[in-house]
């Protein structure tokens, strides 16, 4: 009955030929952090050929660079490799020590280390020609006092590279991240975009650019919290598939257009380049 209904007759049934067996290659491992670095390069970070730590923020051998909240020293390393005098500062003595060791074999003119909370900085007025302060202000009790110290130690005409987490993704993280992520000494405030600009101008700096980057990381961190893996070995199908998806996007013809639109919509961070008059 069913064969008659669908117009199928036994005498005319065709048996398909067996296909040759296809060997599926094993999945290629993907590194979330490698993809993140590629994304950062596309956003204008670590441009070695033009000596730009971030597009428009040129580092030269004549510079004295203060990297406040140096962390693992990635930004300091870039500056040191371009011959600058680099001052690394962090509240964590171990990070200062490890960063100084990391910079020991670079062509940096000089490497100094400061351990402390930058209140105050043990530097003379007008020391630095470049000040780098990445993802620090969200940890600080008194942002006005902190920024006033950064301005004090900058030379007249010094340039500042400042970044903080963007409020849209930070608000999303609040619903997923463990409570300690938003407790001292971690993130104790969410800084709105206009609030960030006001902090900088109230400190006496002139804003030259305010930009956004890192949608990839906004989503990655949301996934990271639910994967329950260690950050030092952050491999999980969800994280790996997200990294692969983002890499595939960047490989497409219109990928950059989409990447920029998403960066503006929900960036991981907002970055300001400012100048001391």
Query: Can you give the pTM of this predicted structure?
Result: 0.88
Judge contact between 18 and 232, C-beta under 8 A.
no
- Residue 51 inside a domain? The answer is yes
Task: Indicate if the pLDDT at residue 3 is higher than 60.
Answer: no
pLDDT in tens, 5-22: 333 333 344 444 444 444
pLDDT in tens, 126-180: 999 999 999 999 999 999 999 999 999 999 999 999 999 999 999 999 999 999 9
Q: What is the pLDDT of residue 7?
A: 38
Q: What is the pLDDT of residue 6?
A: 33
Judge contact between 255 and 216, C-beta under 8 A.
no
Q: Phi and psi dihedrals of 55, rounded to 5?
A: -50, 125
Calculate mean pLDDT across residues 22-28: 46
Q: What is the pLDDT of residue 67?
A: 99
Q: What is the pLDDT of residue 13?
A: 40
Beta strands across the sheet bearing 45-47: 45-47, 52-54, 57-58
Query: Mean of the per-residue pLDDT values for the chain?
Result: 91
Q: What is the pLDDT of residue 59?
A: 99
Q: What is the pLDDT of residue 234?
A: 92
Task: Indicate if the pLDDT at residue 2 is higher than 60.
Answer: no
Number of domains in the chain: 1
pLDDT band at 28; cut points 50, 70, 90 = low
- Residue 14 inside a domain? The answer is no
- Residue 15 inside a domain? The answer is no
DSSP 20-31: PP-PPPPPPP--
- Residue 65 inside a domain? The answer is yes
Give me the CATH number covering residue 210. Answer: 3.40.50.150
- Using alpha carbons, list the distances in angstroms from residue 76 to 73, 124, 225: 5, 20, 28
Domain carrying residue 130: 32-276
Task: Indicate if the pLDDT at residue 97 is higher than 60.
Answer: yes
Q: What is the pLDDT of residue 17?
A: 47
Calculate mean pLDDT across residues 45-56: 98
Calculate mean pLDDT across residues 210-223: 98
Q: Enter the DSSP assignment of 17.
A: P
Q: What is the pLDDT of residue 193?
A: 98
- Residue 146 inside a domain? The answer is yes
Classified as helix, coil or strand, 210 is strand
What percent of the chain stands above pLDDT 90? 88
Q: Quick one: CA dihedral 107, 109, 110, 111, positive or negative?
A: negative
Of the candidate ranges 5-14, 85-94, 124-133, 251-260, the one whose mean pLDDT is the lowest: 5-14
Calculate mean pLDDT across residues 110-116: 97
């Amino acid at each position: 009955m069913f064969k008659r209904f669908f117009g199928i007759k036994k005498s005319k049934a065709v048996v398909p030929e067996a296909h040759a067996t296809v060997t599926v290659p094993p999945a290629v491992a993907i590194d979330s952090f490698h993809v993140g670095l590629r994304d950062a390069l596309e956003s204008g970070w670590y441009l070695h050929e033009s000596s730009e730590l971030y597009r428009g923020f040129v580092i030269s051998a004549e510079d004295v660079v203060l990297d406040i909240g140096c962390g693992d020293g990635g930004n300091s390393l870039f500056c040191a490799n371009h011959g600058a005098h680099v001052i690394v500062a962090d509240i964590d003595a171990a990070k200062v020590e490890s960063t100084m060791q990391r910079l020991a074999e670079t062509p940096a003119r000089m490497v100094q280390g400061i351990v402390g909370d930058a209140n105050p900085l043990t530097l003379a007025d007008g020391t630095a020609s470049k000040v780098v302060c990445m993802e620090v202000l969200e940890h600080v009790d008194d942002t006005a006092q902190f920024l006033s110290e950064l301005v004090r130690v900058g030379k007249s005409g010094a340039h500042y590279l400042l970044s903080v987490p963007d409020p849209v993704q930070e608000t999303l993280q609040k619903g997923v991240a463990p409570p300690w992520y938003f407790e001292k000494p971690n993130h104790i405030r969410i800084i709105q975009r206009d609030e960030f600009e006001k902090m900088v101008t109230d400190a006496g700096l002139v804003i030259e650019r305010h930009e956004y980057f890192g949608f990839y990381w906004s989503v990655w961190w949301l996934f990271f919290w639910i994967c329950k893996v260690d950050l030092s070995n952050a491999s999980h199908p969800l994280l790996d598939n997200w990294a692969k998806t983002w890499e595939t996007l960047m490989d497409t013809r219109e990928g950059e257009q989409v990447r920029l639109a998403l960066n503006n919509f929900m960036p991981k961070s907002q970055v300001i380049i400012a100048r001391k008059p």
